[in-house]
């Protein structure tokens, strides 16, 4: 990660424009700055086809899934993929994917997700406006009631309630 000088604050429209830049594959993140900002996760329309999301403004082959700092994105992704990928979980101080499935999830993310980012000294100041404009389906705090919200909120619970594999002795 490269270090960048502190960014100037962008208004919401400038933030949306910056997040509309060319997306990067997850294995091509050498330009990802070590600074505060907003991040947008993009994927092809057939990835989680049941989750609607706006198309990327300049890359019609991807659509928006999430904006912000994702502290639970991996768990939500794992929950959404439990049935199709057959992930197994184990219990530590919380329910987590088995080690080999953490590796598989990382590989899945590298294959299917793309990322854009925008430097911002106070990302929380712009996040709500960006989410309100784009309505990304995985931002559950801003998603209205209905099947999309039901699918997203059920995903992490699916990881917790999935059959646990025993820990190695």
65-107: per-residue pLDDT in tens? 988 864 454 565 666 666 677 777 777 766 677 888 888 888 8
Residue with tokens 């993140």: 29
Q: Band of the pLDDT at 58, cuts 50, 70, 90?
A: very high
Q: Band of the pLDDT at 19, cuts 50, 70, 90?
A: very high
Q: What is the average pLDDT across 146-158?
A: 58
Helix or strand or coil: residue 18? helix
Of 157 and 140, more confident: 140
Query: pTM here?
Result: 0.68
Residue 156: closest CA among 65, 47, 73 = 73
Q: What is the average pLDDT across 23-32?
A: 73
Q: Could you tell me if 79 and 151 are in contact, meaning their C-beta atoms sit under 8 angstroms apart?
A: no
Rounded Cα gap, residues 100 and 152, in angstroms: 24
106-149: per-residue pLDDT in tens? 888 889 999 888 888 888 888 888 888 888 888 776 555 556 65
Residue 67 β-bridge partners: 40
pLDDT in the model for residue 5: 45
Residues 6+ apart with CB under 8 A from 50: 147, 148, 151
Q: Could you tell me if 164 and 95 are in contact, meaning their C-beta atoms sit under 8 angstroms apart?
A: yes
Residue 139: closest CA among 70, 36, 79 = 70
């Amino acid at each position: 990660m490269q270090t960048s000088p502190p960014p100037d604050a962008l208004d919401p429209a400038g933030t949306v424009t910056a997040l509309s830049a060319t997306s990067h594959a997850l294995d091509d993140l050498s330009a990802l700055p070590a600074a505060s900002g907003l991040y947008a996760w993009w994927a092809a329309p057939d990835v989680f086809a049941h989750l609607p999301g706006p198309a990327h403004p300049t890359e019609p082959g991807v659509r928006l899934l999430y904006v912000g700092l994702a502290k639970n994105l991996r768990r939500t992704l794992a929950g959404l993929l439990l049935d199709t990928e057959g992930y197994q979980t184990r219990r530590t101080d919380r329910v987590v994917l088995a080690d080999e499935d953490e590796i598989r999830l990382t590989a899945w993310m590298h294959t299917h997700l793309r990322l854009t980012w925008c430097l911002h000294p106070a990302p929380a100041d712009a996040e709500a406006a960006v989410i309100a404009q784009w309505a990304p389906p995985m931002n559950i705090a801003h998603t209205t009631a209905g099947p999309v919200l039901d699918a997203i909120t059920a995903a992490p619970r699916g990881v917790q309630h999935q059959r646990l594999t025993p820990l190695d002795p």
